[in-house]
Amino acid sequence: MIRINAVCVGKLKEQFWREACAEYEKRLSRFCKLTVKELPERDSLKEEAAGILRDLRGYKIALAVEGKRSSSEKFAETVKTLCDAGAEITFIVGSSCGLDESVKASADLLLSFSDMTFPHQMFRVILLEQLYRAFMINANAEYHK
Q: Is 143 a domain residue?
A: no
Closest by CA position to 99, among listed 131, 128, 133, 61: 61
Instruction: In whole angstroms, give the CA distance from residue 143 to residue 131.
Output: 12
* pTM metric for this prediction: 0.94
Q: What is the pLDDT of residues 30-61, one digit of tens each?
A: 999 999 999 999 999 999 999 999 999 999 99
The predicted structure's pLDDT at residue 118? 85
pLDDT at 83 over 80: yes
**pLDDT band per the 50, 70, 90 thresholds, residue 145:** low
Q: Is 85 a domain residue?
A: yes
Q: What is the pLDDT of residues 93-118, one digit of tens each?
A: 999 889 999 999 999 999 999 888 88
Q: Is 80 a domain residue?
A: yes
Domain that holds residue 128: 2-138
The predicted structure's pLDDT at residue 143? 73
Q: How far is CA 85 from CA 3, 58, 59, 80, in A?
A: 12, 11, 11, 8
In the chain, pLDDT over 90 holds for what percent of residues?
88
- Count of domains observed in the chain: 1
Closest by CA position to 92, among listed 76, 107, 79, 75: 107
**pLDDT band per the 50, 70, 90 thresholds, residue 144:** low
In the chain, pLDDT over 70 holds for what percent of residues?
99
Q: Is 144 a domain residue?
A: no
CATH number of the CATH domain containing 68 = 3.40.1280.10
The predicted structure's pLDDT at residue 115? 85
- Assess contact for 9 and 48: CB atoms under 8 A: yes
